[in-house]
Amino acid sequence: MISSQQPSGITASQVLAVPFMVLAFGFAGCGSGTSNGADSGGPSVSTEVSKWGPVQTHAGEAQGTTYSIKYLSESRLEDSVFEDLLKTVDQEVSLWLPGSQINAINQWGRTDSLYGFVDSDQIIGPLWALSEELNELTRGAFDPTVSPLVELWGFGLSKRGEVTQEGVDSVLAYTGLRPERFDMNEEESNGMYQRTWVRKGHPNAALDFNAIAQGYTVDLLLEELRLRGVMNAMVELGGEVVCRGVNASGNPWRIAVDRPLAGTGASDRVLETVVSVKDRAICTSGNYRKFYEQGGRRYSHTIDPATGYPAENGLLSATVLAPSAAYADALATAFMVLGAEQTRGFLATYPGLGLDVLLMSDDGEGGYKLWETPGFKAVSSPL
């Protein structure tokens, strides 16, 4: 079991739905004509200026989605600062990149020996440590070993087939974040890291960091800015957002959250609320865009690690404000598994985590109902 310190101020995956929009009026009165470059996939240079300095913008495509980085600084950093980091994370934990380290781990099919690798970039080690912590905290609702179940239900790289109770039970026999089923340990010599060893209890055991890696990536990108003295910034990747300081207007960054409506195109999006975010991360998980229907029943991509089936609890989306995007990303997924009632119980049990949450649930009449913590309500403005 790896012990790792979370980077100060802090998945790689493809995202089918972006739950946030950085609002243009977050820069009201500070210039116009600036694009974040997301449409073209290329970087752009901002002409916006505020009393805090020019607004610098980087945008493009990464990890199967788009990213946008805005910060207040007299000088603009090289695009490679961010592009190199994004590429590194992909090479470590992208399930869509054949040569990634996580795919090498997942393809290791022996249980009589260990798989070893050098975690030189320190991406997988910290993600594993965070996953263990969050798995324990959520009593198994967050679990990166669900990868075989995701594939079984056709939400990964595998083609969907017929799912039976027998098939689910057979996979449940080797999923679960338990040392006897999947374990990872670091070898040290004279206090210095040497190598990481993976032990599997079943040849088909596999990891999927998609529910935390994008949030963690966003944290790392913000850390790159902090190390270069940038104190006011917003970083977004595939809808996972982290904000530091203020925007060009001198106010908290303004982030919009979608209503839980089906559809994947920009024209399908309807905004529910706008959230003022400062020195926090905001992430949403939802089941209203990535699903399929079969036999009159809807199956969402959120898999309950306990049952092996898609979660069915009436919760349509969970938006989490947290100190780090890794936490917000992972807990948003865990709350989708737990459902609204258990999520409220979790929040009451762990008030010290610094979380504020918005839950949107099926009202049973074709619509949805809202529940939010007082802290979330205090920083949000319904549209």
pLDDT of residue 19: 42
Q: 14 in a domain, yes or no?
A: no
Say yes or no: 134 and 168 in one domain: yes
Going residue by residue through the chain (383 aa), what tens digit of pLDDT does each one get?
A: 443 333 333 332 222 233 444 443 332 222 222 223 333 333 344 445 566 679 999 999 988 889 999 999 999 999 999 999 999 999 999 999 999 999 999 999 999 999 999 999 999 999 999 999 999 999 999 999 999 999 998 887 667 778 899 999 999 999 999 999 999 999 999 999 999 999 999 999 999 999 999 999 999 999 999 999 999 999 999 999 999 999 999 999 999 999 887 654 555 678 899 999 999 999 999 886 665 456 556 656 789 999 999 988 999 999 999 999 999 999 999 999 999 999 999 999 999 999 999 999 998 888 899 999 999 999 999 87
How would you list the strands of the sheet with 368-372, edge to edge? 49-50, 53-62, 65-72, 233-237, 240-244, 280-286, 315-322, 356-362, 368-372
HSE of 149, CA atoms in CB hemisphere, 13 A? 28
Other Cβ atoms closer than 10 A to 337: 27
Q: Could you give the angle at the alpha carbon of 211 between the alpha carbons of 60 and 39, nearest 5°?
A: 20
Last residue of a domain, one of 175, 200, 225: 200
pLDDT of residue 155: 83
Q: Could you give the angle at the alpha carbon of 156 between the alpha carbons of 294 and 269, nearest 5°?
A: 70
| Three-state secondary-structure class, residue 356 | strand
- The conformation of residue 351, written as its DSSP 8-state character, comes to G
Provide the token pair at 276.
């003022």
CB contact at 8 A, 247 and 27: yes
| Three-state secondary-structure class, residue 355 | coil
Say yes or no: 243 and 358 in one domain: yes
Q: 142 in a domain, yes or no?
A: yes
Q: What's the CA gap between 380 and 358, in Å, rounded?
A: 10
CB neighbour list of residue 146: distance below 8 Å, 6 or more residues apart: 175, 208, 303, 305
Can you give the CATH number for the domain in which 229 is found?
3.10.520.10
Say yes or no: 41 and 73 in one domain: yes
Q: What's the CA gap between 357 and 341, in Å, rounded?
A: 13
Q: 205 in a domain, yes or no?
A: no
Q: What angle, 0 to 180 degrees and rounded to 10, lies between the N-to-C axes of helices 325-349 and 213-227?
A: 120
pLDDT of residue 81: 96
Strands 280-286 and 53-62 turn out to be: unpaired
Domain coverage including residue 254: 20-87+211-382
Say yes or no: 229 and 352 in one domain: yes
Say yes or no: 241 and 160 in one domain: no
Can you give the CATH number for the domain in which 190 is found?
1.10.3980.10
Say yes or no: 184 and 292 in one domain: no
Say yes or no: 51 and 70 in one domain: yes
Say yes or no: 122 and 49 in one domain: no
CB contact at 8 A, 73 and 175: no
How big is the chain, counted in residues?
Answer: 383
pLDDT of residue 223: 97
Say yes or no: 234 and 109 in one domain: no
Q: Which of 100, 77, 27 is nearest to 248 (CA)?
A: 27
pLDDT of residue 12: 28
pLDDT of residue 261: 73
Last residue of a domain, one of 145, 166, 200: 200
CB contact at 8 A, 64 and 92: no
pLDDT of residue 57: 96
**Domain count of the fold of the chain:** 2
Q: Which of 113, 58, 55 is nearest to 82 (CA)?
A: 58
